[in-house]
Amino acid sequence: MNELLHEKKIEKLKEKLKNNPKQKVKIRENLLTFKCKNFVLQPMRVYDNYSIPYGDYPGNMNNTAEAIYIHILFYAKKYVDIMTPYLIIDDELINAMSMACKRGVRVRLLLPGIPDKKIPYMVAQSYFTALMDAGVQIYIYTKGFVHSKVFVSDDIVSTVGTVNLDYRSLYLHFENGIFCYDRELALDIEDDFENTVKTAKRLTNQEYRNIPVFNRLLGRIFRVFAPLM
């Protein structure tokens, strides 16, 4: 079939060559092209994974990093595991976590037990009640500080980068990360998360109430300045 089409095109070009001598060179080039019948098609490759790097910067109205986090929470079917050193988030992320829990998705949040900044840590604690009431499981890594910025979901989706769950990273800083759809990578990250959770302590409402009232109150007061943290 291809050879027949090539022959017809060559005949048409020959007719043009007779009738249009000014286009002689161009037509002869086309003839040479059409005479190349023995060509190899590149086979279509099908991949079951991909990686998409992304960046965020001040003034980015798309809020790329936050949009990716919300996307993962909205499309999760089984679980979303999150590891972050800071937790100062807006209503959109709170609602995304809450809605995921209401759909039956297990959402786990792993935070450091020994903070590097006391005031941001108190502000992070001010979110605990609302998140736990929504069904989010909060784990505290009592052995020390956690500096990983990781989302992993459903053994297939993950993102790793420089983006903390706080206003500075999400809206004010230059940040970057990589969104991955890769089962092998997601399983490796989830395995690391599980190993870390085993050494962490799950926070309960009673344990939250055991936090000094002064610290809880101070955290809520400083939450007013969350956009600067």
Regarding beta strands 50-56 and 150-153, do their DSSP bridges make them parallel or antiparallel, or are they unpaired? unpaired
Q: What is the dihedral of CA 210, 197, 141, 64, to 10 degrees?
A: -100
208-225 core/surface letters (b: 16 or more CB in 10 A; e: else): eeeeeeeebebbeebbee
Structure tokens at 220: 């809520």
Structure tokens at 201: 């302590």
Contact (Cβ atoms closer than 8 angstroms) between residue 146 and residue 70: no
Structure tokens at 208: 């939250």
Judged against a pLDDT cut of 60, whether residue 38 lies above it is answered with no
Specify the fold of 50-228: Endonuclease; Chain A (3.30.870)
pTM assigned to the model: 0.75
Domain ranges (residues) in the chain: 2-35, 50-228
pLDDT digits (tens, 9 = 90+) for 68-112: 999 999 999 999 999 999 999 989 999 999 999 999 999 999 999
Judged against a pLDDT cut of 60, whether residue 24 lies above it is answered with no
Judged against a pLDDT cut of 80, whether residue 191 lies above it is answered with yes
